């Protein structure tokens, strides 16, 4: 049962990581003059991440680091939630 709480805590940390990364992508796009809306950030996050990836790839030839942080954080959160459910049974 204690392991379940560890996985829940790790999932929560990954969600915070995801939120911070999403905000960093939002601010970066805003600084580049891209039209972004904070009110719609929750629903438009995948589009904004795609825009960030496309723009950084055009400018530098490779994808920017925030994109990978964004993908990894939300996938790890999902994995930890699944592990918490499995260990909690």
pLDDT of residue 89: 72
Helix (H) or strand (E) holding 37: none
**Residue 36: is its pLDDT beyond 80?**
yes
Residue 23 near residue 36, CB atoms below 8 Å: no
Expressed in angstroms, the distance from the first to the final Cα of the chain is: 9
Q: Whole-model pTM above 0.75?
A: yes
Q: Please report, for the chain, the start and end positions of each structural domain, with discontinuous segments joined by +.
A: 2-88
The pLDDT confidence band at residue 88, using thresholds 50, 70 and 90, is confident
Residue 51 near residue 29, CB atoms below 8 Å: yes
Looking at residue 25, the DSSP 8-state letter turns out to be H
Phi-psi region of 80 (alpha: psi -120 to 50; beta: other; left: phi over 0): alpha
């Amino acid at each position: 049962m204690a392991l379940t709480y560890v996985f829940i805590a790790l999932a929560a940390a990954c969600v915070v990581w995801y939120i911070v990364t999403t905000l960093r992508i939002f601010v970066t796009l805003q600084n580049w003059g891209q039209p972004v809306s904070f009110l719609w950030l929750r629903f438009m996050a995948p589009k904004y991440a795609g825009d960030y990836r496309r723009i950084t790839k055009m400018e530098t030839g490779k994808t920017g680091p925030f994109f990978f942080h964004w993908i990894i954080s939300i996938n790890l959160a999902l994995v930890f939630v699944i592990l918490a459910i499995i260990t909690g049974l």
